[in-house]
Amino acid sequence: MGNLEAALQSHQVDLEIARENNLIDAVSRALDNIGRVYARMKNYEAAIETWEEKIPLVKSNLEKTWLFHEIGRCYLELDRAVEAQDYGKRSLQCAEEEGDIEWQLNGGVLVAQAQVKLENFHSAVEYFEAALEKAKRIHNDAARQAIIIVRLEHWSSLNMASVLWVIGTSRNGQGI
């Protein structure tokens, strides 16, 4: 933990110097780094607050994709599924605009996980299936396996009748 605290202090000094000198790119970089350290420390509220401050400074859709995804992951860790879903959808939209399939996959999985926590099981399956197709498309076997495992982990909290209904609905548009 000591190394993370030292890193946090260093990045906070960096932020202070960047602000004093009105160096917008340096402010953005420092906020990015501070948010990462907070997330590694599992201080998700501070990470969210820091990264949300960075949003207006972001210049590209690809950077927004990553940033929205990270904020959404923090909200998911805090069991704030509505916010996680919102940021996941924002990440997914930016990834689609950018044409980045890997980030579309990541955003889709985040939205699916939030949907499970919100008990929107049909929607969760749709997002997991879309992410799985993206993983197949880019030949990312590790992602394919992870999606399957994540789906199973989330489904373990459901009763079997719900799982079978969701699977049946997903495949043919009707319940079993």
Question: 157 or 124: which carries more pLDDT confidence?
Answer: 124
Q: Using one digit for the tens of pLDDT, what is the confidence trace for 129-145?
A: 898 889 888 888 887 78
DSSP labels for 73-118?
HHHHHTT-HHHHHHHHHHHHHHHHHHT-HHHHHHHHHHHHHHHHHT
Please give the helix or strand (H or E) that residue 62 lies within, else none. helix 61-77
Per the listing, tokens 């599992």 go with: 42
pLDDT over 80 at 174, yes or no? no
Task: Give the mean pLDDT of the chain.
Answer: 87
Per the listing, tokens 């420390």 go with: 41
Q: Using one digit for the tens of pLDDT, what is the confidence trace for 14-64?
A: 999 999 999 999 999 999 999 999 999 999 999 999 999 999 999 999 999
Q: What pLDDT does residue 160 have?
A: 43
Q: What pLDDT does residue 146 have?
A: 75
Please give the helix or strand (H or E) that residue 63 lies within, else none. helix 61-77
- CA 16/CA 38 separation, integer angstroms: 17
**Residue whose C-alpha is closest to residue 67's, from 117, 32, 40:** 32
Q: Among residues of the chain, what percentage have pLDDT more than 70?
A: 84
The structural domains of the chain, with segments of one domain joined by +, span 1-56, 58-176
- CA 71/CA 94 separation, integer angstroms: 14
Which CATH topology does 58-176 take?
1.25.40
